[in-house]
């Protein structure tokens, strides 16, 4: 350890660096200085805003801050005007968000200027895949904070405290909605007992500007109402939903609406009755309309008989453009398959010009190492949001195609599939908290750069103000150089590293079926539908590897506007990082680097392993600046990620080598695991 770092390490030890378990997230307690708050209006939300400001003020002692609610055409929705002594907004939510922005600037050192700060999206929503029994589908941080199996309807003080902490964290980054249950919904969520618990949750979330939503099962009229059908055009079904919606709003007057997964992966839906997605969504929208509720209708659909699963959502929804009610929003995953480590953006973005469309991102790391791997997802979401669809004109990015900039959407929205559970640190991995934070920040401002988001989060989460005050010059300078810059770069590189050691060059969906965690390019049980197996996607053979989506193949490229269609169609112009997504190419295909496709694949897998090893070194060097609890937790996770990265590399290269019949380049590390052992053991998910 360097002499200077040793001195800092000893200093922090002497000061007794406060133990941290991560539960406070990026909202760690601070010693506030006095501030006076003037507010002409009092309400639950304004009270929260005042308390937050008074408990967190880091500015000039005795300063006066004025809250002003006043309509201003330049301020949109929940936006606000901010200056050093005034927060002006159109509504109470805007005042609250202005307070959090002001406090964040004080803590990160960003200047506070006279400015207008408007949200990119009207609805900024977390989708919880939580089940009534307390389990969470694709949850890697413990059980649900909302539901439990034992004594499910009793609301305790601990419940309310946890919900309040959750609401505060969401509000601090501008999230204003929560879908409380799984998209693979249980009909029981609409029963009186569960609705009363929803009311209890809503009562805690409301003072933080957060509305509650529910996922529903389309066949609920049959399962709960004992009707013979769930046909959306049936009069009895329509009436049943109207009565159910009326019941919900009598209990929760500000209820937000429904999220619906229908006619997808075996879930019931309007297609069971020969009806369209528009028929189903509009029936629910009509029931919600009198209460200003919305329907978020998921476009995640695919058929086992379709030759290319990636095409079906576009094929099913674009013919319905303009047929949906104005309180229906089509919720579209960022890519056309399923939250893969890398996908092209979904061609639905920009293609539906008369319908409100909202992006859906996955915060929980279903395909990216669960709560074990350190993967900062902001770079993935930024890549998607800033991709140009070319559907309208050059510059018509996914962000601008969904936030109302280009198309006159009645509503704008964005959703993130939550990674939150009962674990003490909420997310299972200290750095997974950064993905919750990043989603909120990008939902508020879809033009933010991941570098800024990472730097904000690190300063809020790890900077030790006590040490800075005690030894200001040395600590601040060394913290920036030895902690902030290298750890931030680690975060920014982490997603690409995961792509490298898992599924480089456009490979996708080649994970083990055992929890979607480890490698499994061989997995194809007899009788399993093809599009649930990796060989369907990688198409490896002696002739080459990759899925042919060119005009000579499935023609998925034609779902993209020009010049993208032509760019993706030609392997000479297709980006290397999507090459095997759109092309089936021979193993000796010459890459832009001059290497063969096989060698390039090997280099990427090896690079990913080496990147994670470098992350270990970065984190070990950061030890003097992190409390021991969080340091050791992250250190242990990185060790396991490195083990997993090696397994991914060894499994995939040895498996694909059976088809390429080419040697692994001699300048990269030899496999240390035998393929037959990996296949026999099939990596089990570990926490």
Q: Cα separations (Å) of 437 from 120, 393, 561?
A: 16, 32, 33
Query: Residue 177 pairs with which residues in a beta bridge?
Result: 125, 211
User: CA 152: distance to chain centroid?
Assistant: 28
The CA-atom distances, in angstroms, between 260 and each of 193, 205, 297, 420 are 21, 22, 5, 21
Nearest one of 631, 628, 499, 660 to 575, comparing CA atoms: 499
Task: List the one residue out of 25, 39, 155 whose CA is nearest residue 92.
Answer: 39
Q: Which H/E stretch holds residue 679? A: helix 675-681
Residue 234's CB is within 10 A of a number of other CB atoms, namely 17
- In the DSSP assignment, the letter for residue 672 is -
Q: Who's near 272: CB < 8 A, 6+ residues apart?
A: 230, 263
d(CA 89, CA 82): 9
Tell me the C-alpha distance between 638 and 255, whole Å. 41
- H helices present in 60-184, as ranges: 92-108, 157-172
Cβ 78 vs Cβ 123: under 8 Å: no
Contact 443, 178 (CB under 8 A): no
Q: How many whole angstroms separate alpha carbon 603 and alpha carbon 593?
A: 11
497: three-class secondary structure by DSSP:
helix
Alpha carbon separation from 69 to 101, 171, 492 (Å, rounded): 17, 18, 38
In 3-state terms the chain splits into helix, strand, coil percentages (rounded to 5) of 45, 10, 45
Q: Are 396 and 388 in contact (CB under 8 A)?
A: yes
Residues 252-272, buried b or exposed e (16+ Cβ, 10 A)?
beebbbbbbbbbbeebbbbbb
DSSP-derived 3-state class of residue 276: coil
Contact 288, 294 (CB under 8 A): yes
- State CA 343 to chain mean position distance: 15
Helix axes 450-462, 92-108, angle to 10 degrees: 80
CA 133: distance to chain centroid? 24
CB of 208 within 8 A of CB of 78? no
Residues taking part in catalysis: 265, 338, 366
**Tokens at 26, concatenated:** 């990026």
The token pair at 408 is: 């006159």
Which H or E run includes 683? none
């Amino acid at each position: 350890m360097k002499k200077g770092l040793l001195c800092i390490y000893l200093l922090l030890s002497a000061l007794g660096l406060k133990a941290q378990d991560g539960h406070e997230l990026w909202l760690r307690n601070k010693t506030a200085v006095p501030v006076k708050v003037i507010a002409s209006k009092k309400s639950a939300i304004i009270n929260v805003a005042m308390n937050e400001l008074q408990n967190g003020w880091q500015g000039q002692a005795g300063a006066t801050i004025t809250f002003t609610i006043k309509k201003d055409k330049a301020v949109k929705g929940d936006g606000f005007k901010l200056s050093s002594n005034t927060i002006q907004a159109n509504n109470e939510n805007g005042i609250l968000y202005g307070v959090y922005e002001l406090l964040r600037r004080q803590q990160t050192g960003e200047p506070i200027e006279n400015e207008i700060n408007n949200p990119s999206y009207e609805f900024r929503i977390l989708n919880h895949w939580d089940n009534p029994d307390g389990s969470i589908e694709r949850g890697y941080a413990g059980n649900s904070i909302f539901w439990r199996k034992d004594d499910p309807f009793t609301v305790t003080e601990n419940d309310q405290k946890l919900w309040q902490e959750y609401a505060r964290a969401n509000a601090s980054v501008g999230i204003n909605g929560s879908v409380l249950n799984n998209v693979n919904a249980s009909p029981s969520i609409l029963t009186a007992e569960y609705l009363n618990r929803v009311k209890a949750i809503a009562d805690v979330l409301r003072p933080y500007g957060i509305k509650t939503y529910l996922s529903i099962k389309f066949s609920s009229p049959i399962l709960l109402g004992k009707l013979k059908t769930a046909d959306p055009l049936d009069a009895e079904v329509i009436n049943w939903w109207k009565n159910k919606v009326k019941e919900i709003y009598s209990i929760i007057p500000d209820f937000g609406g429904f999220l619906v997964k229908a006619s997808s992966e075996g879930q019931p839906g309007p297609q069971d009755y020969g009806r369209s997605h528009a028929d189903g969504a509009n029936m629910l929208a009509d029931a919600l309309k009198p209460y200003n509720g919305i329907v978020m209708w998921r476009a995640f659909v695919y058929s086992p008989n379709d030759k290319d699963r990636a095409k079906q959502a576009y094929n099913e929804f674009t013919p319905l453009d303009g047929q949906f009610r104005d309180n229906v929003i089509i919720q579209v995953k960022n890519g056309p398959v399923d939250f893969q480590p890398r996908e092209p953006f979904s061609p639905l973005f920009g293609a539906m010009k008369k319908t409100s469309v909202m992006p859906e991102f996955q915060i929980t790391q279903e395909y990216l190492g669960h709560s074990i791997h350190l993967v900062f997802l902001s770079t993935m979401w930024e890549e998607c949001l800033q991709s140009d669809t070319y559907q309208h004109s050059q510059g018509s990015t996914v962000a601008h195609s969904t936030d109302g900039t280009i198309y006159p959407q009645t509503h704008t929205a964005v959703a993130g599939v939550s990674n939150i559970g009962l674990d003490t640190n909420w997310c299972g991995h200290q750095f997974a908290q950064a993905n919750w934070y990043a989603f909120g920040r990008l939902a508020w401002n879809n033009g933010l750069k991941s570098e800024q988001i990472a730097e904000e989060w690190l300063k809020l989460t790890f900077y030790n103000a006590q040490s800075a005050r005690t030894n200001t010059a040395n600590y601040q300078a060394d913290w920036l150089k030895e902690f902030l810059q290298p750890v931030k770069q680690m975060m920014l590189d982490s997603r690409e590293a995961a792509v490298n050691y898992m599924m480089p060059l456009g490979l996708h969906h080649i994970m083990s079926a055992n929890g979607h965690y480890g490698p499994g390019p061989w997995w194809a049980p007899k009788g399993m539908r093809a599009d649930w197996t990796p060989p369907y996607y990688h198409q490896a053979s002696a002739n080459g590897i990759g899925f042919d989506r060119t005009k000579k193949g499935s023609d998925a490229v034609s779902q993209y506007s020009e010049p993208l269609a032509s760019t993706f169609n030609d392997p000479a112009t297709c980006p290397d990082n999507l090459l095997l997504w759109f092309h089936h190419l021979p193993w000796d295909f010459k890459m832009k680097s001059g290497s063969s496709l096989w060698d390039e694949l090997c280099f990427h897998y090896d690079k990913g392993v080496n990147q994670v090893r470098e992350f270990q070194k970065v984190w070990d060097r950061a030890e003097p600046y992190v409390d021991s609890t969080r340091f050791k937790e992250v250190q242990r996770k990185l060790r396991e990620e490195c083990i997993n990265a090696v397994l991914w590399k060894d499994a995939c290269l040895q498996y694909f080598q059976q088809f390429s019949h080419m040697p692994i380049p001699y300048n990269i590390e030899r496999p240390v695991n035998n393929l037959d052992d990996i296949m026999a053991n099939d990596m089990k998910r570990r926490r």
